[in-house]
Structure 1
Amino acid sequence: MRIFTAEDVRRTVPMPAAIDAVREAFRELRAGAFVLPPRQVFGDGAVLVMSAYHAPTRTAVVKKIGIDLSRDPAIRATLIWTGSEQIVADGTSITTLRTGAVVGVATDLLAPRDAARLTLIGTGAQAADQVRAVLAVRPIAETTVCGRDPDRAKRLAGSLAEEFPEVKFAVSADLPEAIATPDIVCCATSTSTPLFAAEDLPERVHVNAIGSFRPIMRELPHDLLTTASVVLVDQVEAALEESGEVIEAVDSGALPRESLVELGEALETPPQPTGRTVFKSVGVGPQDWSVANLLSQS
């Protein structure tokens, strides 16, 4: 058995490698290479169990996640990967890394090629990897960090500025102002009510949302989903089980289910986005498998 701590995961799998691995995993998911059981949910979402089996290599991954929104980090997880050997790894670091990576894949598909301005909403454990992923695929020059706690936002911006000295980082407490001009917006919060109004966004912008993971949670406004030129999801079935904003829009009839585009499909036939675009992720097992697979090869 090999054991990987959070530090081991970070040292072994840099963000660009994670993006490439997650991209390939979604291509394989589209091609039918994975057996993907439904996510198990216990205690009204307090404990989640995710798994995936990769048929071509006969390898599997299982991740147990404990979620408590009152603590920091809210997510604590352990991952087990089985193949020719067994790996036990810190699932918290893998979760933030692979969630950032899938945002990198989606941003690379949908965001303007010349995107230079990013706004990040949220300062929790997932936030930094959202920035790392976007910076890996777009020439971002300016990033604005918004959060409920100004001190946390300043600390996060300061830490990221040290990591990416070529990027200008700023902190804003005025959310409508912060989302008025960016090319890309990343939402990583646990809110149950939409963070902003669609009318506050530029006419040309890509929005990623990864924070809400229960049907009662919503980061995005209804009219953004119903007017976006592309609404991309990691998996339609998962989104309709767990994404509050997608469930509401589809159930209302304003967003036809068939208009949702799965990431694997978009990689096969890239969409031609115009105006505003959205990527909503709730996470699927092949993302975890892809990072664990890289660990197994190290």
Structure 2
Amino acid sequence: MLDADDVRRAVPMTAAVEAVREAFRELAAGRFEVPQRLSFAGSTTLVMTACHTPSSTTVVKTLNLAPGRTPMILGTLVWNTAAGQVVADAVEVTALRTGAVSGVATDLLAPPSASRLALLGTGAQAADQVRAVAAVRPLRHVSVFGRSSVRAQGLADRLSAEFPEVTVRLARHASAAVADVDVVCCATSSDTPLFGVDDLPERVHVNAIGSYLPSMRELPPELLATAGCVVVDQVGAVLEEAGEVIHAVDAGLLDPGKLIELGTALRRPPVVGGRTVFKSVGLAVQDWAIARLLGEATGMRP
């Protein structure tokens, strides 16, 4: 059983970004079987699985979510190979792979010189969003906004210690945080949009990884309607689970046919400009990518 510290020692963020990038290319090439995520007990228990058909390796992850509990999320990940199994702390893997996919999307869609980041959210996923952007862009400034100023300050202090070359400041409002940045990372469970489309610069890339239920919405529908490019992890998944996408489609503001899957975009990079969006609800291929690295670190290869 690999605990959180074991996972972090085995998989640095730079390796996680590259592994997740390759997994999405493999997904687009049809080399994964990925069943729809199972959800039980009012979406408080989630089960995700994927099979990489060329290697016949599978990953199975279970998560239990209990708002108000500390920690809020508990879970286990199992990577299965012909040689045996690797079992790991699923919470750490989830944070790592969720950050990594934002890194992949940022590397694809943000300007090469992007150095200013707005981080909206202070929960378990937040710090890895910063780590992932820092892995692919010359990050110099981070604005942090959260509902709790105490938690926001604590996160800002941790980020300042980890990235001494980066200036980290608190923003009093989400709209202020996003006003003058190159990249925005949304990592909240909000049920209303965090900012208005007019709060954003004309050229900005936005990652949204927090919402995973139809009732949740981090992004304004006008952003999805006017963005030059909207990339998603998987079209079917976001149309079932991503509240902001569902709302924009139902309102007639977004044509689902214009959604581009990340794996496709990696194989055929889109021409980007203006505002770009990446919306993720999380796929088991990301867990598989991290689990493969954990397997290699423990000497267990397919």
Please, what TM-score do these two structures have when normalized by structure 2? 0.96
Corresponding residue number in structure 1 for 2:150: 151
AA paired with 1:133? Answer: A
Higher deviation after alignment, 73-82 or 54-63: 73-82
Distance in 2, matches of 1:46 and 1:117, equals 35
Q: Is the 8 A contact 1:222 1:245 kept in 2?
A: yes
* Residue in structure 2 matched with residue 187 of structure 1 by the alignment: 186
Q: Distance in 1 between matches of 2:175 and 2:76?
A: 37
1:44 is aligned to: 42
Secondary structure in 1 matching 2:63: strand
- Matches of 1:22 and 1:201 in 2, distance apart? 28
Per-residue deviation, 1:23:
0.3
Task: Check the 8 A contact 1:72/1:125 in 2, yes or no.
Answer: no
Match of 1:67 in 2: 65
- 2:120 and 2:66 map into 1 onto residues whose CA distance is 20
Q: Which amino acid aligns with 1:40?
A: L
Q: In the alignment, is the contact (CA less than 8 A) between 1:127 and 1:188 conserved in 2?
A: yes
Residues of 2 paired with 1:244 and 1:79: CA distance? 26
Asked if 1:7 is matched to 2:2, the reply is no
SS state at 1:4 partner? coil
Which one of 41, 54, 57 corresponds to residue 55 of structure 2?
Answer: 57
Q: Where do 5+ consecutive residues of structure 2 fail to align?
A: 298-302
Alpha-carbon distance in structure 1 between the residues aligned to 2:4 and 2:69 = 18
CA offset at residue 72 of structure 1?
4.0
Other-structure match for 2:271: 272
For the residue of structure 1 that corresponds to 2:100, the secondary structure is: helix
1:215 correspondence with 2:217: no
Q: How far apart are 1:252 and its partner, in Å?
A: 2.3
Whole-angstrom CA distance in 1 between matches of 2:63 and 2:21: 23
In structure 2, the partner of 1:160 is 159
Q: Deviations over 1:153-200 (max 9, x none)?
A: 111111111111111111111322221101111000011011111011
- Map 1:1-298 → 2, pairs under 5 A: 3-83=1-81, 84-298=83-297
* SS of the residue 2:35 aligns to: coil
Q: Distance in 2 between matches of 1:24 and 1:185?
A: 24
Counterpart CA distance in 2 for 1:167 and 1:273 is 27
Q: CA shift at 1:69, angstroms? A: 2.6
In structure 1, C-alpha distance between the alignment counterparts of 2:70 and 2:108, rounded to whole Å: 32
Between stretches 181-190 and 245-254, larger displacement belongs to 245-254
Moved over 6 A (4+): none
Which residue identity is paired with 1:79? L
Following superposition, the deviation at residue 272 of structure 1 comes to: 1.1
Alignment partner of 1:170: what SS? strand
Residues 72 and 124 in structure 1, CA contact (< 8 A), matched pair in contact too: no
- Once residues 187 and 162 of structure 1 are traced to their aligned partners in structure 2, the CA distance between those partners, rounded to angstroms, is 22
Unaligned runs of 5+ in 1: none
1:3-47: CA deviations, max 9, x gaps? 211100000000000000000000000011111111101012111
The residue type equivalent to 1:235 in the other structure is Q
Q: TM-score w.r.t. structure 1 length?
A: 0.98
Percent of pairs with identical residues = 58
Residues 122-147 of structure 1: per-residue CA shift (max 9 Å, x gap): 00000000000001001111101111
Given the superposition, is the C-alpha separation of residues 72 and 108 from structure 1 closer, same or farther in structure 2, using an over 3 Å criterion?
A: farther
Answer yes or no: is the 8 Å Cα contact 1:209–1:219 preserved in 2: yes
Number of residues paired by the alignment? 296
